[in-house]
Amino acid sequence: MKKKRTLTVVAAVLAVLMLGVGYAAVANDLLYITDASASASPSDANFVVQFDEDTDVVAGNNVTADYTDATNATFAVSGLTAKGQTASATYAIENLSPDLSANLTATIGTMTNGESGTEDDKTYFNVTYSFGSTTVEAGGSTTLTVTVTMLKTPVAEDVSVTFPVTITASAEQPTAGA
């Protein structure tokens, strides 16, 4: 009788274990998503750096400067008469990008003699620029100051030059999670 009872208990324990294993097998079906992927493409619409037309150009003496539109501005110096005189204007630049930072650089193009249209050798003027910051975070702003310095006093006649200033804004990828 004791043997029958032990056998019955063992059978009952095995039955409970089998139910548990069977339940776990039924309750733990695994599903898989295969061939999952994601892609993204760059868009110029996500990177917008421009002059801040709502902020006035700060122009010094002998300077006329303004914004023509969001990507163009003017700069004209007149009235310099002696070596060492300077004239400058400061422009506001804003980064309207939702999450991309901008790295700014600028170049002063070839000076052209205002009268003859020939390349000028920088005899009379030196043009320089400086940024408030060369990195502009998304939603931030900085300034660009352009300065003309007279290198030599004209003696016989007026002198003039024209020159472009080209500002390049390069997009910088934000840090993941930022």
Q: What percent of the chain has pLDDT over 70?
A: 85
Domains and CATH numbers, the chain: 47-172 (2.60.40)
Distance, CA of 166 to CA of 72 (rounded, Å)? 10
149-176 pLDDT, tens digit each: 999 998 888 888 889 999 999 999 876 6
50-75 pLDDT, tens digit each: 999 999 999 989 999 999 999 999 99
Could you tell me which of 128, 130, 160 has the C-alpha nearest to residue 142? 130
Helix (H) or strand (E) holding 136: strand 135-136
Distance, CA of 111 to CA of 160 (rounded, Å)? 10
State mean pLDDT over 6-25. Answer: 67
Task: Tell me which amino acid residue 125 is.
Answer: F
